[in-house]
Amino acid sequence: MKIDLTGKVALVTGATSELGRVIARTLGQCGALIVIHYHQAADKAQALHKELPGSYIVQADVTQEADVLRMRDEVKSQLAAPDIIVNNAVIQYPRLEVLKQSTADYISQFESCVLHNVLMSQAFVPDMIAKKWGRVIAMNSESSMQNWSTQSAYVSGKRGMDGVLRCLAREIGEHNITVNQVAPGWTVSETRPEEGRPQWYRNGIALKRYGKDQDIANAVAFLASDLASYITGTYLPVCGGNIMPAI
């Protein structure tokens, strides 16, 4: 048994980010043809494109409807309508306490978490419905359950997207399309080593170790495959047991 995405087109938003690059590489290793989305990091997109034979680069601001529709039309004309979309992009901002956080930061998180998922779904799901097969995978966060100090804008955006995607899962499930969320914990990578990461955080993880970016990408690949064909509407923590959703 293996994950085989041969013949599938997978679009990863924010594919030039630390996590996005590993997700794109992993889906490519499973046989998918990768669409590398970027907003501003054109140089990183070109570098990733060189790693992934047959990949295609597309630029867009995923918080803007016109940009997302242009991206859809470009990808369809150059390749094909994506079978898999991984909504990974998010706007970064300085995190402060609620009483100090700018309202602009709450708006940016709504745009990059909620609107991002709405616009991507509206643009790409209709073609999945026509094909009677599709995967919508979105990157949430363990923060949605932690609600730590200074996380309020981020948590509000991630919790909002959770509601949208659970509704979407019910609305399009009859078309053989699954909608799932992966919720990473703090992870390490080649460019973000464990050195310097807080010991107290690792001590709170059930598995007593930091996760790797590849752990997150593996979960995405699983949910993108037919091995997960009967899983939809999930919020899947990949955090070593740092959070444990309860029934």
Active site residues: 154
Residue of 147, 140, 138 lying closest to 95 (CA atoms): 147
Residue with tokens 């992009």: 89
Hey, what are 119's tokens?
A: 């616009």
Q: Look at residues 199, 241, 201, 238 and name the one whose alpha carbon lies nearest to residue 222.
A: 238
Q: How far is CA 120 from CA 89, 94, 232, 239, in A?
A: 11, 26, 18, 26
Two tokens, residue 162: 């959770």
SS3 at position 7: coil
What 3-state class would DSSP assign to 238?
A: strand
